[in-house]
A and B are shown apart, each in its own frame.
Chain A
Amino acid sequence: MSTSNKVLAVALLAMTLPLAGQETRLDTSSSARIDFPADSPLTLISTSMGESRATARGGAVVLDLHMTLTLRNAGVRRVRGVTLLITAQEFAPGGKGSVARPCIDVAPNQEFTVPVDLRLVRPVQQGAGPLVRVQLDGVLFDDLGFFGPNKLNSQRAMTFWEVEAQRDRAWFKQVLSAKGDAGLRQEMLASMGRPRLDVAVSRSGRTVGELVPAADRVAQFAFLKVPDAPVEALDGFAGIMGNEAHAPRIEVLNKSSKAVRYMEIGWAVKDKDGVEYVAGSVPGSPASMLLPAGQKTSLLPDTTLKFSKGGKPVEIQSMTGFVSQVEFADGKVWVPSRESMKFSPLLRVLAPSAEEQRLTDLYAKKGLAALVADLNRY
């Protein structure tokens, strides 16, 4: 090694050592940029960075965010949901996330908080400026009106959450009036303890003209009939390799009289012991939509799902699909009714809605009286 090379190596080492594993506490002024539109119905009252830190790891910086944003409803309508887009780097994996707060009921001029607990990654050398950018992606009101740039399709997601919340609140109120406290308690207990699966998702890498990438076998979906569903899943299969399911393909028919612009098929798998889990959802890609009334289309997500439980692979014995969400071209949405769910095996595996989860948690922590009081609020 020449003398100049030795000097260069020592200099590089001296520069690298302080960076390795170094943690820097973040402060709002220099680390985060918070952008809300000028006409936003929500105004930012304060921001706390909490224990947010940046840690250098190789050529990347890991941002461990523990922020709290205090917002005020500056509009005239009640706010039922808000979604924030959090960006460290826009177009690379691990650089973008979002935080949503659904199932809220914020009156005009009322303040509320949104916690941002995320880890994001960005390159070390990404120019000057704040490390993280927080943007308002959408606000949903009690009349299902929406405000925001909607980059993440948060309008659709929050609308589904709100419609599910209205459905479940109405259901629990109905149970309470029909069966009293005992009936409501029974519903709460039934809502707890659904089996859950660990799922990893990655791109399949399906090549042109290939229906299913390399797999041991091809498994057919069995579809649950949801009586009032505007879309019917006709046929579907996925390549199975051990505990991996590759590139599912599902053919659907729009049975309704309206055009459909989005749908989701719930995906449940059964293991060797006959235990059924919700594995994930197969949404329609934007390219395959809009689906006119009476027409068919195929959902072809190019992804692989890998199932495990407690670190052990779960071998897939069979798969079940069911229509879980539909959005029509006019913006109206459909979700399965509680009556449909009650009379089908769907309820056994379907993940509870955000509102049902909140109410169940409220019952578990504060008891039936607190739950009844919450149901009577609105």
Chain B
Amino acid sequence: MKQHPDETELALGASGDCGVWAGFRLRRHVRGCTECQAAMESFTDLRGALSADLTHGTNWDERALEMRANIRLGLEAGECVRGAGVAVVAAPRWNPRFALALASLFLLAGAGIFLRETPTAPVNFPPTLASSDAGIEFRSGETSVMLLNRNGVVADQTVSTLGEIRSRYIDGDTGAVTINNVYLQ
């Protein structure tokens, strides 16, 4: 080996993980090269120190068993999933409980929409006096009061822009005129 081995080869050689031929050539070079010999010794020392830290309190055999068990479990679970997926796609099964739950959900949603009151913004209508054939109606918000014509006699009604309605009717019995006034305020 005329050239120096790189750091990776030296690290592998220190741990004895390189191949047989590569290991032979590496060992020959290291014997004649003090520089590489020093580098390889430093890798050996580092490996020893790391090995001492990692192995402290760890049962590697136990870990190896757990890992093997987990791998096996994973493989079996994968088989199970693959099998179930094929079954669902191939032959979907009728589930009455699922259908019942879905129908109930639709019913609940439909009833909710049907029974829901449309939220109306509070409208602030001003107090209003209105004349009509039925009489004079006073409206304030959601309240309304009707001033009825006496005995259903059709009255003549006059609206004043000062906020007053005058209803005039003829008494059916006496023939006398009566005038009712209602005021906006």
Question: Are B138 and A201 touching (Cβ within 8 A)?
Answer: no
Which residue on A lies nearest to B168, using beta carbons? A354
Which residues of A have CB within 8 Å of B160? 201, 264, 280-283
Q: Is B147 an interface residue (CB 8 A)?
A: yes
Which residue on B lies nearest to A101, using beta carbons? B178
Contacts A60-B143, A198-B131 given; does A358 touch B126 at CB 8 Å: no
Which residues of B have CB within 8 Å of A121? 138, 143, 145
Contacts A117-B148, A198-B130, A201-B165 given; does A97 touch B175 at CB 8 Å: no
In angstroms, Cα B180 to Cα A114, docked, is 11
In angstroms, Cα B131 to Cα A92, docked, is 19
Which residue on A lies nearest to B150, using beta carbons? A117
Q: What string of 1s and 0s marks CB contacts (under 8 Å) between A26-49 and chain B?
A: 000000000000000000000000
Q: Is A292 an interface residue (CB 8 A)?
A: no
Question: Are B158 and A281 touching (Cβ within 8 A)?
Answer: yes
Question: Are A205 and B170 touching (Cβ within 8 A)?
Answer: no
Question: Are B132 and A93 touching (Cβ within 8 A)?
Answer: no
Q: Is A301 an interface residue (CB 8 A)?
A: yes
Which residue on A lies nearest to B170, using beta carbons? A361
Which residue on B lies nearest to A94, using beta carbons? B138
Q: Is B161 an interface residue (CB 8 A)?
A: yes
Q: Is B140 an interface residue (CB 8 A)?
A: yes
Question: Are A358 and B176 touching (Cβ within 8 A)?
Answer: yes
Which residues of B have CB within 8 Å of A279? 159
In angstroms, Cα B170 to Cα A310, docked, is 22
Cβ-defined partner of A205 (8 Å) among B126, B161, B168, B183: B126
Cβ-defined partner of A97 (8 Å) among B133, B140, B157, B183: B183
Question: Are A365 and B175 touching (Cβ within 8 A)?
Answer: yes
In angstroms, Cα B180 to Cα A96, docked, is 11
* Smallest beta-carbon distance A291→chain B, Å: 17
* Smallest beta-carbon distance A121→chain B, Å: 6
* Smallest beta-carbon distance A37→chain B, Å: 21
Question: Are A119 and B146 touching (Cβ within 8 A)?
Answer: yes
Cβ-defined partner of B156 (8 Å) among A285, A301, A306, A352: A352
Q: Is A336 an interface residue (CB 8 A)?
A: no
Contacts A96-B183, A98-B180, A361-B170 given; does A282 touch B127 at CB 8 Å: no
Q: Is B184 an interface residue (CB 8 A)?
A: yes
Q: What string of 1s and 0s marks CB contacts (under 8 Å) between B133-176 and chain A?
A: 10000101001011110100000111111111100101100111
Contacts A60-B143, A62-B145, A115-B150 given; does A201 touch B161 at CB 8 Å: yes
Which residues of B have CB within 8 Å of A118? 147, 180, 182
Contacts A62-B145, A94-B145, A281-B160 given; does A99 touch B178 at CB 8 Å: yes
Which residue on B lies nearest to A265, using beta carbons? B161
* Smallest beta-carbon distance B138→chain A, Å: 5
In angstroms, Cα B145 to Cα A27, docked, is 22
Give how many A residues have a beta carbon under 8 Å from the other chain's beta carbons.
Answer: 59
Q: Is A173 an interface residue (CB 8 A)?
A: no
Among B157, B179, B184, residue most surrounded by chain A Cβ atoms (within 10 Å): B179
Which residues of B have CB within 8 Å of A222? none
Q: Is A133 an interface residue (CB 8 A)?
A: no
Q: Is B128 an interface residue (CB 8 A)?
A: yes
In angstroms, Cα B168 to Cα A91, docked, is 24
In angstroms, Cα B184 to Cα A205, docked, is 14
Q: Is B129 an interface residue (CB 8 A)?
A: yes
* Smallest beta-carbon distance B159→chain A, Å: 4
In angstroms, Cα B138 to Cα A62, docked, is 12
* Smallest beta-carbon distance B181→chain A, Å: 4
* Smallest beta-carbon distance B96→chain A, Å: 40
* Smallest beta-carbon distance B150→chain A, Å: 5
* Smallest beta-carbon distance A177→chain B, Å: 24
Cβ-defined partner of A200 (8 Å) among B130, B158, B162: B130
Which residues of A have CB within 8 Å of B183? 93, 96-97
Contacts A93-B138, A119-B147, A361-B170 given; does A200 touch B128 at CB 8 Å: yes
Contacts A93-B127, A281-B161 given; does A102 touch B177 at CB 8 Å: yes
Contacts A199-B131, A352-B156, A362-B175 given; does A117 touch B180 at CB 8 Å: yes
Contacts A115-B171, A119-B147, A358-B175 given; does A201 touch B181 at CB 8 Å: no
Q: Is B58 an interface residue (CB 8 A)?
A: no
In angstroms, Cα B129 to Cα A280, docked, is 13
In angstroms, Cα B180 to Cα A305, docked, is 20
Q: Is B185 an interface residue (CB 8 A)?
A: yes
* Smallest beta-carbon distance A323→chain B, Å: 15
Which residues of A have CB within 8 Å of B162? 283, 285, 301, 303
Cβ-defined partner of A199 (8 Å) among B145, B159, B176: B159
- Beyond the given pairs A115-B178, A118-B182, A282-B161, 8 more chain A to chain B contacts, judged by CB atoms under 8 angstroms and listed by A's residue number, are A98-B180, A100-B179, A100-B180, A152-B181, A198-B133, A200-B130, A201-B164, A202-B163
Can you list 16 A-B contacts with CB-CB less than 8 angstroms, sorted by A residue number?
A94-B145, A97-B180, A102-B177, A152-B181, A198-B133, A199-B157, A199-B159, A200-B129, A200-B131, A201-B130, A201-B161, A202-B127, A305-B159, A305-B161, A361-B170, A365-B175
In the A-B complex, list the 10 residue pairs whose CB atoms are closest, starting with the nearest. A301-B161, A200-B130, A280-B159, A202-B128, A100-B179, A199-B159, A98-B181, A361-B170, A198-B132, A303-B161
